[in-house]
A and B are shown apart, each in its own frame.
Chain A
Amino acid sequence: MTTETTVQTPLVVKDLKVYYHTRRGPVKAVDGVSFQLNRGERLGLVGESGSGKSTIALALMMAHKEPARIEGGSIILNGSNLLDDNDEQIRLRRLSEIAMVPQGALNSLNPVMRIRDQVIDGLKDHNVNMSVGEFNGRVAELLTSVGLHPDVASRFPHELSGGMKQRVSIAIAISMNPSVIVADEPTSALDVVVQKQVVQTLRDVQERIGAAAIMIGHDMGLMAQFASRIGIMYGGKIIEIGPVANIFQNPRHPYTQLLISSLPDTRSKRRLEGIPGLPPSLLRPPPGCVFHTRCPEAMDICTQDIPITRELDPNRFAACHLYDDSDGKEVIL
């Protein structure tokens, strides 16, 4: 890979497989997922619970734990495969190259450490050498950049509101100017007003440092506000991916179509239709297309062959047998 593409495309995930090994067999939480992230881009990965979206976040950080194992594929970060690195190399690449903003509902900050020390901790851990004054200056600069008063540095997490804690998490995530930010449901459990502030802050800092961001969640409204591109996950696979406006206006996969038409809005009251049926078992996924058991347009072939991902329009991919006859070229996404 040339340096030029590395700079433009900091993250390339190819055919990633993450299985949870249980007594009853492997649960294929992530089963052949491919996507790439360009510099400055914001990708939203949406899916129901059990679709594999949070497992992707863990794998990108190489923070997955037994019984989860990466069974195949590659995660190319800034040109080199994370899966080839040893633990120490991975530790050094976290925060400096790829950083995570944790779930809003989790209290990820250390309750007995002042905010200043938690921010500096990450830097020192990555062998950043600065004087005390320089460290304090950097902390103040980071807190200001996420809309917090520099005085917050001397406080403990319990003295902060949920929204302020999430801003601190963002400040820590950008402390070493990573090229990729991973945010897994960063505003779960936050009120709408605070949610908007936190997501806008994340967007502002991501644009300022020029990082690529990937946000994981189930709220299509939040994705519409944040993402420039959206990937729809179902049963451990990305079944459709494309620019955000395009996905909302012209969803191609039947699952995406049903998902978008099930979204309530505040324009007009209407009959609300859910998606009938249940998500597939990832232990024994159905043969053929994972969605065929719930799909209103299922055909015979859907019960037999796994659909191939095709590029239907430029930058617009879907994996569905409805488009087998289209001249969309096959791609290994």
Chain B
Amino acid sequence: MTAQSIASNNGSELLLRADNVSKTFVAGTFRKHYTHALDTVTFSVPESPPTITAIAGESGSGKTTLARTVLGLVEPTSGEVIYRGNNVAEMSRAQHAEFRREVQVIFQDPFESYNPFYKVDHVLRTPIRRYNLASSKSEADGIVEEALRTVGLRPEETLGRHPHQLSGGQRQRVMVARAVMLKPKIIVADEPVSMVDASLRATILETLRAMNRDLGISILYITHDLTTAFQIAENIIVLYKGRVAEAGSVESVINDPTHPYTQLLVSSIPQPDPETQWGREQEARAEDEIPLTGCNFYDRCPLRMDECTNADPPLYRTAQNRITRCYRYADSPVHLAPDLRSVFA
């Protein structure tokens, strides 16, 4: 931990911290091909108050790799993920068991999280057994039923059924119930609503919001959809090709994006309003020479300048609650603290 990031914590305890996390995937036997999925990403989630942080980006932005790294499913090539003071990669068995209970995950496709041969009950009872949450069957029943009610499902209509007998929205809410039952500190939700219909999307997002508000669970909301990120999160980190392009409070980032990439994303949102038509502005086309040094958005940037090819821009602190990685803001102070905590405060 550097002196700067200590200073940026304002003394408050951190629940989860990703410290300069990089992940490089290597493919190919003879000619190695390197993919830098994550490049020195640093952020943290405080112990309190419970927050909802959105991590947004397109495919290839590294958002899912970041989620998997935070969950300990992917080991970073460099940097570390610290959960309550312990490095996730070096935890003892007991610490790891606690980590697995306190950090829960909800995946995109509720179909894939289920074994089709088991009833829904199995999904909910397994964790109770594994973590010894109940001493009797009736106590286990009570925990299951309470968790289902918390997410707005009626136990009598849900239990005893096979996954295919539930709607996509119900299945996804069963996964939320399963996560909630374990009384986690944090839920990593990786595109939890991208596979469900609009009418159910609202219900699931509202359920996640209630988990945060009423049960004090922090949420990392991983998404490609800025609209739902805006609705649910307080803060947002926009990733581009594994790097933080822009971060800050969700209202300010989405209503007034500063990084040309965020601007492109926001202007591409299909607003559900025929009066607000898409603008005609386009991204720049890649030219023959793409610089190997400099800003990683250079080839698509409509506002690129000569100096952008010199070196990778640092993060500039453009406002109290904003940072952006773009030379157009070189007049603003460089954000030295690698942690985003002080920006989100």
User: Residues of A at under 8 Å CB distance from B?
Assistant: 48-49, 191-193, 195-197, 199-200, 218-222, 224-225, 244-245, 248, 258-260, 262-266, 269-275, 278-279
- Encode B259-286 as 1/0 by CB contact (under 8 A) with A: 0000011111111111111101011000
Q: Are A262 and B283 in contact (CB under 8 A)?
A: no
Q: Are A219 and B59 in contact (CB under 8 A)?
A: no
Query: Which of A219, A225, A278 sits near B167, CB closer than 8 Å?
Result: A278
B168 at the interface (CB under 8 A from A): yes
Query: Which of B200, B205, B270, B274 sits near A195, CB closer than 8 Å?
Result: B270
Q: How far is the CA of A193 from the CA of B198 in the complex (A)?
A: 21
B106 at the interface (CB under 8 A from A): no
Q: Are B265 and A192 in contact (CB under 8 A)?
A: yes
Q: Are B198 and A265 in contact (CB under 8 A)?
A: no
User: Residues of B at under 8 Å CB distance from A?
Assistant: 58-59, 167-170, 197-206, 209, 224-228, 230-231, 251, 254-255, 264-278, 280, 282-283
B210 to chain A, nearest CB (A): 10
Q: Are B268 and A196 in contact (CB under 8 A)?
A: yes
Taking CB as reference atom, which chain B residue is nearest A244?
B274
Query: Which of A192, A193, A248, A264 sits near B202, CB closer than 8 Å?
Result: A264
Known: A258-B199, A272-B231. A192 touches B272 (CB 8 A): no
Taking CB as reference atom, which chain B residue is nearest A230?
B274
- For A200, the chain B residues whose CB sits under 8 A away are 278, 280
Q: Are A266 and B205 in contact (CB under 8 A)?
A: no
B63 to chain A, nearest CB (A): 12
Q: Are B203 and A274 in contact (CB under 8 A)?
A: yes
- For B168, the chain A residues whose CB sits under 8 A away are 49
A81 to chain B, nearest CB (A): 33
Q: Are A264 and B205 in contact (CB under 8 A)?
A: yes
Known: A266-B255, A274-B199. A221 touches B270 (CB 8 A): yes
Q: Are B264 and A264 in contact (CB under 8 A)?
A: no
Q: Are A274 and B206 in contact (CB under 8 A)?
A: yes
Q: How far is the CA of A218 from the CA of B170 in the complex (A)?
A: 19
B269 to chain A, nearest CB (A): 6
Q: Are B272 and A218 in contact (CB under 8 A)?
A: no
Q: Are B272 and A221 in contact (CB under 8 A)?
A: yes
Q: Are B278 and A225 in contact (CB under 8 A)?
A: yes
- For A271, the chain B residues whose CB sits under 8 A away are 206
Q: Are A264 and B274 in contact (CB under 8 A)?
A: no
Q: How far is the CA of A219 from the CA of B196 in the complex (A)?
A: 11
Q: How far is the CA of A199 from the CA of B270 in the complex (A)?
A: 10
Beyond contacts A266-B255, A269-B251: 16 other A-B pairs, Cβ-Cβ < 8 A, are A192-B268, A193-B283, A195-B270, A219-B198, A221-B271, A221-B272, A225-B274, A225-B277, A259-B199, A260-B272, A262-B198, A264-B205, A265-B271, A266-B266, A273-B206, A275-B199
Q: How far is the CA of A259 from the CA of B264 in the complex (A)?
A: 28
Q: Are B254 and A218 in contact (CB under 8 A)?
A: no
Interchain residue pairs with CB less than 8 A apart (22): A48-B197, A48-B198, A49-B168, A192-B226, A192-B269, A193-B264, A218-B198, A225-B271, A244-B274, A262-B201, A264-B227, A264-B228, A265-B230, A266-B226, A266-B254, A266-B255, A271-B206, A272-B201, A272-B203, A273-B203, A274-B200, A274-B202
